[in-house]
Amino acid sequence: MIHLEEIHRIYDTAAAPVHALRGVNLRILPGEFVAVMGASGSGKSTLMNLLGCLDRPTRGRYRLDDADVAELSPDAVAAVRNRTIGFVFQGFNLLHRATALENVELPMLYATPTLRGDEARSRARVALGRVGLEARADHTPSELSGGQQQRVAIARALVLDPKLLLADEPTGNLDTRTSIEIMGLFQQLNAQGATIVMVTHELDVARFAQRIVVMRDGRIVADRALDRPADPVAELARLPDEAEAETA
Amino acid sequence: MYRFLALFRDALRALRRNVLRTLLTMLGVIIGVAAVIAMVAIGGGASDQVKLQVDSLGENLVIVMAGGAQVGAGVLGGAGTAGTLTVADAEAIRREVPGVRHVSPEARSAAQVAAGNENCSTQVLGVGVEYPALRNWPLAGGEFFGAAAERAAARVAVLGRTVARALFGDGDPIGAVVRIDGVPFTVIGVLAAKGANMMGQDQDDAVLVPYTAALRRLLGQTNLRMINVGAESAAAMGPVQREIAALLRQRHRLPAGREDDFTIRTQEELAAFAGSTTRIMAGLLGAIAGVSLLVGGIGIMNIMLVSVTERTREIGLRLALGARRRDILRQFLIEAALLSAAGGVVGVAAGLGISRVAAWVLNWPAAAPVSVVAGAVVFSAGVGVFFGFYPARRAARMDPIEALRRE
Ligand SMILES: Nc1ncnc2c1ncn2[C@@H]1O[C@H](COP(=O)(O)OP(=O)(O)OP(=O)(O)O)[C@@H](O)[C@H]1O
Ligand SMILES: [Mg+2]
């Protein structure tokens, strides 16, 4: 699915060039669920932007589905972003004047072949349902909590059933329970065939993946498979009951 | 369709974001389109009106005015002041020029007309018995004077509608005595309303008396201001014009090489002259329209550039979600087109309003054809697309990650 060879990314800033990625080699097979961890500033988001075809490496080769991304036409890249990849941004990036439902519909505006209006709307509703937000479909982002906004962003990434789901800190603003529920959703999508790459700071969240990649200073310093990913049902059961917590 | 509706919705949302700014941006287009519509409506009404007025002059009319042609002289005003035409000239034309059906001498002067306590200043026209036939000007009541009254220089008057109103209100003036510059005349008829002439003068603001009476009793002179001649047919007008010219040159003993001391105008020439003034007016309005559409277009370009800059993040997001460059291009073009088409619609409304008012003030029928109205709206949308293209292309060429990072 993904094949990175000696990827470098150097940001040209006014002060001095920042070498954010220093030779990353990574292979991800179809159907994998990978968690990317690492300290702040280690290059995780930079890597995700490259994987999402939003940015181009300064050096190195990125092959996606056996195609060299550097050689794709702009329209082909747009189609990849639209249909192949679902991207959850670290900062959500929602349209502030549009409702949650309209935000989730957004990728479908650019889908080929075109969808019918009612079809797009019902798909958007289903996607909102999967993140537990049907009731908030007609609210604008400013009327939603941070966690709810994050879930709208996840719904938007899911709505076109991407083969590759890229999520930059998808649970950064969520409580433990909701985080586990979202991980359950990711595992479910993964079981249905989606490849998932997820950035997270929390080992508790990373445990739901099958493989954990650790970055430091723009390089991959550890890469190991998990024998037994965490089970969301069991994890939820282990959470202290809220009612109990209140009486305690 | 869905995609288009969504684009449309997003464009409306973007324009609603800052209503005042949107309105100010539309102003240039509004003014331009309003000018176009007003131009077409008033200009069209004017040329209809000119045609009507030229026809209302009478049929196959050839007008002989005293005095030579002066550059820029009014058609019915400037010429005709020199005292070179006489009653004998008029009679000679009737006698000797073939193809002539009617002849009416005409003398004119401003005068005070009084009846009882009412009085008004108006034009006294001394004309011949054939004048109503020549000018296609029927009577509303009473009768016109006949040959006997003309011969006797009888003190009889036929009132124009405006004068009749001013002196008698809704009452019946026939049989009443009016004093023209102090000289009593008996009213024997009232003319039907004729409206304004090409120069915008009210033709009904006049009193008609026999030219003999006008010359002898009011003006105290023998010179005519003009001679109205009715040709037998439209085809006869050219020959009649040439024959009259030859006859008058001979009668006035003008040596070859000397300019005419009279001016002959046919109805067609008057129509062409009147048409040229309306064309100039239309051209002026057209220039205003063009300039303000240009300014409006630049305003749209400016505001679209601002909008593209403000919405950089949104553009980045759309690109990241799979929008192609042409999708972004289209989005901003639709927005610009919507902006200026809305300006076009408001401009059409304003233009129609203006032409209504102008029609009322000028007493002209003014109406813009539906095709022009539709064309103006489509054209203004086109202005938006044209001037929106550069900003839209700028948006479409953005790099998604750069755009998303921008604040
Ligand atoms: N647009 C940019 N211009 C210049 N430097 C940048 C830019 N984006 C990131 N960097 C730098 O590149 C390095 C990697 O940044 P990146 O955003 O990939 O880190 P991260 O691992 O995602 O961190 P975090 O966990 O805080 O999100 C950092 O040193 C950062 O300062
Ligand atoms: Mg990051």
Q: pLDDT by residue for chain A (248 residues), tens digit each? A: 899 999 999 999 888 999 999 999 999 999 999 999 999 999 999 999 999 999 999 999 999 998 999 999 999 999 999 999 999 998 889 998 899 999 999 999 898 888 888 899 999 999 999 999 999 999 999 999 888 999 999 999 999 999 999 999 999 888 888 899 889 999 999 999 999 999 999 999 999 999 999 999 999 999 999 988 889 888 888 887 765 665 65
B182 and B287 inside one domain: no
**Backbone phi and psi for residue A208, each to the nearest 5 degrees, phi listed first:** -80, -15
Say yes or no for a CB contact (<8 Å) between B323 and A109: yes
- Considering B202, B220, B251, which residue would you say is the last residue of a domain? B251
Bridge partners (DSSP) of residue B115 are: B118
Location of structure tokens 């009731």? A135
B183 and B143 inside one domain: yes
B327 and B213 inside one domain: no
- Considering B251, B286, B318, which residue would you say is the last residue of a domain? B251
B113 and B218 inside one domain: yes
Residue B263 lies in a domain: no
B235 and B279 inside one domain: no
Secondary structure class of A44 (helix, strand, coil): helix
B243 and B282 inside one domain: no
Residue B344 lies in a domain: yes
Q: Is the peptide bond before B255 cis (omega within 30 degrees of 0)?
A: no
Say how many C-beta atoms besides its own lie within 10 A of residue A121's C-beta: 18
Interface residue A72 vs chain B (CB under 8 A)? no
B394 and B246 inside one domain: no
Residue B70 lies in a domain: no
Nearest chain B Cα distance for residue A239, angstroms: 36
Question: By CA distance, what is A50's nearest residue in B?
Answer: B401
Question: By CA distance, what is B15's nearest residue in A?
Answer: A97
Nearest-angstrom CA–CA distance, B128 and B209: 8
Range of the domain at B317: 2-53+273-405
Say yes or no for a CB contact (<8 Å) between B2 and A115: yes
* Nearest-ligand number for the alpha carbon of A49: 1
Residue B231 lies in a domain: yes
pLDDT in tens, B234-284: 888 889 999 999 999 999 888 888 888 888 888 777 767 666 776 777 777
User: A22 in ligand 1 pocket by Cβ < 6 Å?
Assistant: no
Say yes or no for a CB contact (<8 Å) between A81 and B5: no
- Considering B251, B286, B311, which residue would you say is the last residue of a domain? B251
Cβ pair B63, B204 in contact under 8 A: no
B289 and B173 inside one domain: no
Secondary structure class of A56 (helix, strand, coil): coil
Nearest-angstrom CA–CA distance, A190 and A168: 17
Question: By CA distance, what is A111's nearest residue in B?
Answer: B322
Nearest chain A Cα distance for residue B21, angstroms: 18
B375 and B321 inside one domain: yes
Residue B343 lies in a domain: yes
B244 and B278 inside one domain: no
Secondary structure class of A164 (helix, strand, coil): strand
Cα–Cα separations (whole angstroms), residue A168 to A204, B196, B295: 16, 80, 47
B244 and B277 inside one domain: no
Question: What was the ipTM of the complex prediction?
Answer: 0.92
**Residue B318 carries which DSSP code?**
H
Residue B258 lies in a domain: no
Determine the residue among B12, B18, B321, B334 to mutate to test chain A binding: the one whose Cβ has the most chain A Cβ atoms within 10 Å: B321
How many angstroms separate the alpha carbon of residue B129 from the centre of ligand 1?
103
Nearest-angstrom CA–CA distance, A86 and B124: 91
Number of domains in chain B: 2
Nearest-angstrom CA–CA distance, A42 and A47: 10
Which of A44, A166, A173, A197 to mutate to test ligand 1, by most ligand atoms within 8 A of the CB atom? Answer: A44
Structure tokens, B294: 């240009």
Q: In B, which residues are within 8 Å of A80 by CB distance?
A: 322
Q: In A, which residues are within 8 Å of B314 by CB distance?
A: 95
Residue B211 lies in a domain: yes
Residue B335 lies in a domain: yes
B154 and B41 inside one domain: no
